[in-house]
Amino acid sequence: MDLKIPRLVDSFYYEFDKRMLDSAYEVYRGAANPFKGLYVSAIATHADKLINNRIYVRDSVEKAVTSFTKPWPKPVLAHHDDKNDPIGRVISAQFIDSIDTLGPTFSKFKTIPSPKARDQYLNYLEETVLFSGDNRGTGYIQAALDITDKDAVEKVMDERYLTLSIGFDTDVYLCNICWADWKKGEFCEHVPGTEVDGRRVFNITGQLTYDELSFVNKPADQGAVVLEKGDQPIQLNSYALDNVVE
């Protein structure tokens, strides 16, 4: 059984008069503000924090941040509903490193240069802060969203849309007890959220690809929340302009 989360599919087609297209492209490239709807800044996800009985390791989270915007801006959805149109797009994303807030003992893990170092880091994480009630992780992704759906804009502004959840894929999905890779169908008897010989069972993801970001009512990551919102309109900005074939 493959645990792969289905990728979201979004396609669109634009027809422009060539002169209009050239003019629009210049406006797009020269504009200081890339938003045409409601600007929203939000925390999308955390590294090294127990979320849904799994963790996303900091090196993978940092590396995957570009997948929010490449090869195209990923959709913002409501409740992971990929059957309806997106309510916006992720315009930019960056990894914010917060490992230094955990003290000097974590400084040697700021970079993880090898699989062996990764294993050492995971063991140390499990022995120290992973199960702490106030663990905020070692970093997070902050994303800038362009919310263009009229109803969604209203819901963001009155905070009906406030908390978020990621949609993603990973190349491995490991058991922390026996290192079985569920992604390859190596299912073991260890149930995430239970204990085995005094150890909490959880899964460890590998390399990540982010497919979408959704507003949800019950986020697994309690820190995935809107930070800032404000109306920053622009005259014209088409996501298709970068990919026009003459």
- Give the model confidence (pLDDT) of 78-109 as tens digits: 999 999 999 999 999 999 999 999 989 998 89
189 pLDDT higher than 90: yes
* Distance of alpha carbon 41 from alpha carbon 5, whole angstroms: 25
* Distance of alpha carbon 81 from alpha carbon 215, whole angstroms: 10
* Distance of alpha carbon 204 from alpha carbon 217, whole angstroms: 25
Assess whether the previous peptide bond of 75 is cis (omega < 30° from 0): no
Split at pLDDT 50, 70, 90, the class of 188 is very high
Strands 199-200 and 203-205: unpaired
190 burial level (CB within 10 Å; 0-12, 13-18, 19+): middle
Q: Which helix (H) or strand (E) holds 229?
A: strand 226-231
- What pLDDT does residue 35 have? 65
Split at pLDDT 50, 70, 90, the class of 36 is confident
Tokens of 21: 């297209």
- What pLDDT does residue 128 have? 95
* Distance of alpha carbon 196 from alpha carbon 192, whole angstroms: 10
CA distances from 117 to 49, 60, 111, 121, 175 (A): 18, 14, 9, 6, 18
Beta-carbon contacts of 235 under 8 Å, excluding residues fewer than 6 positions away, are: 27, 31
27 pLDDT higher than 70: no
Position with higher pLDDT, 42 vs 246: 42
The model's pLDDT over 209-232, given as tens digits with 9 standing for 90+, comes to: 999 999 999 999 999 999 999 854
* Distance of alpha carbon 76 from alpha carbon 166, whole angstroms: 10
Split at pLDDT 50, 70, 90, the class of 6 is very low
Of 80, 57, 99, 64, nearest in space to 210 by CA = 64
